[in-house]
Structure 1
Amino acid sequence: MVYRTVSKDMKERALWLIDHDYIPADVCEVFHISERSLRRWKSNHNIYGSVFSPTDPLLNPDDT
């Protein structure tokens, strides 16, 4: 798949479908995403409470 930016809203909608027993392969096809991306978003959501991981301050010192 080609790299592209996916909005927070789209990521959360994809996870909502997974949480409501939709088949991951079907969700990936509809949203044109990889299953690896879906797993990463789910992991981030479980660990950090958001589909995004926190920004590393060493990579972006202006955010401190």
Structure 2
Amino acid sequence: MGFDIVVSDIHMPDMDGFKLLEHVGLEMDLPVIMMSADDGKNVVMKGVNHGACDYLIKPVRIEA
């Protein structure tokens, strides 16, 4: 059984979301969607620049 996509929060108790993004990109080659309540432009751009295919602001609305 494999995975098709990864959806992850930026802030997790045991791992930084950006570290996970890097790990997935290097070892799994899967698309990653990051999400967080942090809507700062620098945080969003960091996610996208590090390979996230999208960044969702929480709470996620159906329009997103």
Decide which structure has greater strand share.
2
Higher relative contact order (CA 8 A, sep 6+): 2
TM-score, reference length from structure 1: 0.30
TM-score, reference length from structure 2: 0.30
Decide which structure has greater helix share.
1
